[in-house]
Amino acid sequence: MVRVQHGGGAARTKRADARRNEKALLDAAAEVFVASGVDAPVRDIAAAAGVGVGTIYRHFPNRADLITAVYRHQVEACAEAGPALLATEATPYAALVRWIDLFVDFLVTKHGLAAVMQSDGPGFATLHAWFLDRLVPVCNQLFAAAAESGEIRSGLDPYEVMRAVGNLCVGAEGDPRYDARRVVGLLVAGLRTADRPG
Amino acid sequence: MVRVQHGGGAARTKRADARRNEKALLDAAAEVFVASGVDAPVRDIAAAAGVGVGTIYRHFPNRADLITAVYRHQVEACAEAGPALLATEATPYAALVRWIDLFVDFLVTKHGLAAVMQSDGPGFATLHAWFLDRLVPVCNQLFAAAAESGEIRSGLDPYEVMRAVGNLCVGAEGDPRYDARRVVGLLVAGLRTADRPG
Amino acid sequence: MVRVQHGGGAARTKRADARRNEKALLDAAAEVFVASGVDAPVRDIAAAAGVGVGTIYRHFPNRADLITAVYRHQVEACAEAGPALLATEATPYAALVRWIDLFVDFLVTKHGLAAVMQSDGPGFATLHAWFLDRLVPVCNQLFAAAAESGEIRSGLDPYEVMRAVGNLCVGAEGDPRYDARRVVGLLVAGLRTADRPG
Amino acid sequence: MVRVQHGGGAARTKRADARRNEKALLDAAAEVFVASGVDAPVRDIAAAAGVGVGTIYRHFPNRADLITAVYRHQVEACAEAGPALLATEATPYAALVRWIDLFVDFLVTKHGLAAVMQSDGPGFATLHAWFLDRLVPVCNQLFAAAAESGEIRSGLDPYEVMRAVGNLCVGAEGDPRYDARRVVGLLVAGLRTADRPG
DNA sequence: TATGAATGAGTATTCATTCAT
DNA sequence: CATGAATGAATACTCATTCAT
């Protein structure tokens, strides 16, 4: 009723405002996550976004919701890249390698995000599930293609490999002797068929 | 004279008591670590050990000291196994594989310990350094032998590989679809020379 | 429109509430300081004010901020009295004596506050500096005038004398045989020129 | 009976040991007091003395006992200097000035000891009383002589003046602009008769 | 009698979360 | 709907004091 009193235009304006607000909030949260990790104090995020903490709780009741929202677009892009790579790369294995590279790029540049892949806290369960729901099918597709083309071993669980890749990206920053891409490269090399031609 | 004997005896007894206490404390801490991770509240550990918090601070001024002490023996055993395996296994690569298996066994059974390998908190720096100081040289030796025998690629950094293995063990429990040993197996397979015989 | 009015009003109301709260907090803190000194536990102050400890930390991040706020008005009044006395008293020395009396009155009635004048703790540095910044200039003015009129020795450091007066007020309560005003009177008498007329 | 079994010699040896111990303890405590103030942790004192904390508690059940013991000799010397100065100095006032100088020298070189003169904690009551019992009579004598010779005002309470001097010595170290001797000089100057000759 | 290990109360401080305005 | 003030549980750490050896 209140909405009716305000009229449709007002409601739309409101919604637009809310959206702008949410967008600003997500941008700010992303920055804070990079700087302080996904465990950053809620107040810091609110301050960075220029909103009150209450606003954050309204939009994202739990932290996982916020993290999910923050990275949704990027994860989305990563997910969509799978089929595309499969279509453009020379072989399914090449596509798989490229895709994993994208995944790694995504993870290592987000301080602390990789930890999400391993976190067992109940609050992160939703986020965890969301990541998997969105990316594992893509990964499945790539693995299936590469297995069918005989480029990688059969019997591999794409989920497990993704989880492994995620783990390898944890804490990659700040240690000059540890290069997540390099060790992921080793892992990916290990996927190849045991008795491949060369 | 009695006093002198008593004094000496008392001193030794005292130390023995303290040592027993320390042992009980380490056992309790190990259990709490398994249940709640290495970040478990000091009070919980104290309660589990049946001592006051002061006693913990007396024996282990900071948390890293406690963690180090808790896992010292096991890490020690792991370190000592390296040369032994090199002597008994058929090839250096076989020894390396077995040794990494031991390392993984050690890590995956200790909830949260693997996190230590990646933790960047200043409080964990000492512990981190200790782990590396003790295990990296062993790892170096195994890698050198396997590289010399032509079983693995050259140019690998054992430290980096250990770090990767550590990461792969993070959060291994509680996820039935993720088997740290299996993914480490993939990584280790990736170490092999690119153009190995078979 | 209603909303806009409400928004503005709400914001102002909020701030007013917070201010009221802060005032209550300051009053409570002042009382606790009198009863238990400026080192009183934060929790006691919070309890006395009927607020949570977090509220205190919100308003006054460190103890010095709280103490400063508690005594700001009184110190302010003391500072402002300097020039006024200079204008109304018969001679500069008389003004100085009266002003020091005010200062003493202020200090002796605040249990533990005088200790602030001597505290060397880093946390009190700000407070200490603030006290001095505000009062020393006033004191300088009074001393300069009294020196020019030939009523007191030259070469005195007003800061040092203030510090001395502050020290003389320490622990003045609770000892019936020690009267801060009396001993300060002795000190002030000692300021007079050595070869004054009478 | 046990003592009888040990024999007189043994008992005497024991007592000698205990005395040596107590002496070492006092020396160590004095050093720690200078370094960290009279509120230094008991354990620090014990460590400095090379004894267990229990030993300190045995010899000095409360901190005040320890402080008293630590400074007993020096206070004693100060007390004894009073009559001596009265006998050797030209006038009673000169003796008084010299004696107060001694008192100040004693206080300012002992970090935190001066605080004892103002402390109202029950634990320090004994110490406080002891200081006064020993020094006030001496001070009385000096004041009486100086008053009789007409060099200082009459009606002064020596106790109060001592207390004031003690206060003026508080926090004297660490502030280059505050010189306890100087301000005590002002106070002492203020003691002179209001209408003295020159 | 000396020791020092153990105790645990006391205190500061942070931060997620709620709710009146 | 947004705000941010208020809350208070949680946790680390210190240190005086006791007591078994």
Q: Are C and D close enough to touch, i.e. 3+ CB pairs under 8 angstroms?
A: yes
Q: What percent of chain D has pLDDT over 70?
A: 78
Predicted local distance difference test score (pLDDT) of residue D88:
95
Q: How confident is the model at residue C65 (pLDDT cuts 50, 70, 90)?
A: confident
Chain C CB contacts of D191 below 8 Å: 186, 190
Residue contact A187–B186, C-beta within 8 A: yes
* pLDDT the model gives residue C6: 39
- Among D82-96, D102-116, D182-196, the range of highest mean pLDDT: D82-96
Helix (H) or strand (E) holding B197: none
Quickly state the pLDDT bin for A83 (edges 50, 70, 90).
very high
Count of beta carbons in the 10 Å neighbourhood of residue D78: 20
Q: Are B118 and B167 in contact (CB under 8 A)?
A: yes
Write the pLDDT tens digit of every residue in B101-131. Answer: 999 888 877 666 666 665 655 556 666 777 7
Predicted local distance difference test score (pLDDT) of residue D12: 47
The predicted model gives B129-155 an average pLDDT of: 89
Establish whether the CB of C47 is closer than 7 Å to any nucleic acid atom in strand F. no
Could you identify the residue whose CA is nearest to the C1' atom of nucleotide E10?
A: C41
Q: Do D198 and C198 touch (CB under 8 A)?
A: no
Question: Which of the pair, B194 or C27, is modelled with greater confidence?
Answer: C27
What fold does the segment set B1-61 form as a domain? Arc Repressor Mutant, subunit A (1.10.10)
C52-55 — which CB contacts under 8 Å span 24+ positions? C55/C21, C55/C25
Rounded to a whole number, what is the distance in angstroms from the first to the last CA of chain A?
Answer: 72
- What pLDDT score does B122 carry? 56
A105 has a pLDDT exceeding 80: yes
**Is some CB atom of chain A closer than 8 A to the CB atom of B118?**
yes
- The CATH architecture one would assign to domain C63-198 is Orthogonal Bundle (1.10)
Query: Which CATH code, of 1.10.10, 3.40.50, 3.30.450, 1.10.150, is assigned to D1-59?
Result: 1.10.10
User: What pLDDT score was predicted for residue A75?
Assistant: 82
Q: Is the pLDDT of residue D198 over 70?
A: no
Q: Do chains B and C touch (3 or more CB pairs under 8 A)?
A: no
Q: Does D183 touch chain C (CB under 8 A)?
A: yes
Among B30-34, B132-136, B172-176, C35-39, the range scoring the smallest mean pLDDT is B172-176
Chain D residues in contact with C159 by the CB 8 A cut-off are 177-178
C164-167 long-range Cβ contacts below 8 angstroms, 24+ apart: C164/D168, C164/D178, C164/D183, C164/D186, C164/D187, C165/C100, C165/C103, C165/C104, C165/C107, C166/C107, C166/C114, C166/C117, C166/C118, C167/C114, C167/C117, C167/C118, C167/D167, C167/D168, C167/D170, C167/D171, C167/D183
Q: How confident is the model at residue C46 (pLDDT cuts 50, 70, 90)?
A: very high
Is the pLDDT reported for residue A1 higher than 50?
A: no
Q: What DSSP letter does each residue of D78-105 carry, written as one string?
A: HHHHHHHHHHHSSSHHHHHHHHHHHHHH
- Between residues D31 and B123, the one the model is more confident about: D31
Angle made by CA atoms D46, D48, D50, in degrees to the nearest 5: 65
Fold designation for A62-198: Tetracycline Repressor; domain 2 (1.10.357)
Confidence class of residue B197 from pLDDT cuts 50, 70 and 90? very low
CA distance D73 to D59: 17
Find tokens 């007013």 and name the residue: C16
In whole angstroms, F9 C1' to B41 CA is: 14
Q: A192 has which bridge partners? A: A152
Mutate to test the interface with B, among A160, A169, A182, A192 (most CBs of B within 10 A): A160
Mean pLDDT estimate for chain C? 81
Specify the CATH class of B70-198 in words: mainly alpha
% of residues, chain C, pLDDT over 70: 80
Q: Please tell me if residue B86 touches chain A, with a CB cutoff of 8 Å.
A: no
Percent of chain A with pLDDT strictly greater than 70: 79
> What is the pLDDT at residue C76?
87
Helix (H, G, I), strand (E, B) or coil at A177: coil
List the domain boundaries for chain C. 1-61, 63-198
Asked if residue A42 keeps its beta carbon closer than 7 A to nucleic acid strand F, the reply is no
Contact assignment for D191 to C191 by CB distance below 8 Å: no
Is C179 within 8 Å of chain D by CB?
A: yes
First to last CA, chain D: 72
Say yes or no to pLDDT of D92 above 90: yes
